[in-house]
A = this chain, B = another copy of it.
């Protein structure tokens, strides 16, 4: 497996285009992360729209720039909305991102994830190591926090990426991003990202925003990861705890210039 990264300048360009084009990102997400996801998308310059009911989710996915499908707090109604969105996204060529929250740990949602993957191929799958392992068929974690390290999931991530023809992003202290052939590792960030709810969920949404402005899913995943983790580093420097960190994260993300992102990015 090659570890050649796409040139960093692509990430600056991708971030610049998010700012310029304000892509419309449809979010079918959970009740915990919905507010912070919308705020982080707005801070990034994207336009969030939480259209998740089955009557409208399909029509909206056909016109959205990207779609996030996050399995955090499912209901029968929201699953129907997700199926409608994924079918319409596939038909319209709208890229979608799957965030299989707690896959492997809980049976119903693991089935929901597999059902969605059988309907259409996502551009990206984003989860922590436990979730990626759980989705790939291994043992799951105990919910949204990861009990397996991201490196442990690297092999499964590559297999999953190859099987579905998509990029798989394994979040952790070092983020591991792969399309099954190329690998990018991002070591930025701060432990407080795990002490604020919904940061991982928002990362999936940012990936959908970035994917809306580039066809290269690996560049999109890397750009979103860099943007959020670099903003987190800046935010942590001037915060006194997880509350002020969450506030500063929004300020930092809104202030993050494309040139700064490209200059500060260290990929492995």
Taking a contact as CB atoms under 8 Å apart, the answer to whether A30 and B50 are in contact is yes
- A13 is an interface residue with CB less than 8 A from chain B: no
- A5 is an interface residue with CB less than 8 A from chain B: no
Max chain B C-beta neighbours (<10 A), residue from A24, A36, A75: A75
- Whole-angstrom distance from the CB of A255 to the nearest CB of chain B? 6
- Interface flags for A187-212 (1: CB within 8 Å of B; 0: not) read 00000001111100000000000000
Q: Which of B42, B108, B241 contacts A195 (CB 8 A)?
A: B42
Taking a contact as CB atoms under 8 Å apart, the answer to whether B251 and A142 are in contact is no
Q: Which of A56-64, A113-121, A148-156 contacts B (4 or more CB under 8 A)?
A: A56-64
- A73 is an interface residue with CB less than 8 A from chain B: yes
- A243 is an interface residue with CB less than 8 A from chain B: yes
Known: A48-B197, A73-B52, A76-B77. A43 touches B108 (CB 8 A): no
Taking a contact as CB atoms under 8 Å apart, the answer to whether A49 and B249 are in contact is no
Closest to A55 in B: B108
Taking a contact as CB atoms under 8 Å apart, the answer to whether B242 and A42 are in contact is yes
Known: A32-B38, A196-B42, A197-B42. A56 touches B242 (CB 8 A): no
Complex alpha-carbon distance, A50 and B109, angstroms: 13
- A145 is an interface residue with CB less than 8 A from chain B: yes
- A246 is an interface residue with CB less than 8 A from chain B: yes
- A263 is an interface residue with CB less than 8 A from chain B: no
Taking a contact as CB atoms under 8 Å apart, the answer to whether B106 and A51 are in contact is yes
Taking a contact as CB atoms under 8 Å apart, the answer to whether B143 and A24 are in contact is yes
Taking a contact as CB atoms under 8 Å apart, the answer to whether B252 and A248 are in contact is no
Closest to A36 in B: B35
- Whole-angstrom distance from the CB of A227 to the nearest CB of chain B? 14
Other A-B pairs beyond A50-B72, A53-B75, A247-B247, 13, CB < 8 Å: A31-B35, A32-B38, A34-B35, A35-B35, A39-B197, A43-B243, A49-B144, A50-B73, A55-B74, A55-B108, A195-B254, A241-B255, A243-B254
19 contacts between A and B (CB under 8 A): A39-B246, A42-B194, A42-B195, A42-B242, A47-B142, A47-B145, A49-B143, A49-B144, A53-B76, A55-B108, A56-B107, A56-B109, A60-B106, A63-B142, A239-B251, A240-B255, A242-B251, A243-B246, A244-B250
Which A positions have Cβ atoms within 8 angstroms of B? 24, 30-36, 38-39, 42-43, 47-53, 55-56, 59-60, 63, 72-77, 102, 106-109, 142-145, 194-198, 239-244, 246-252, 254-255
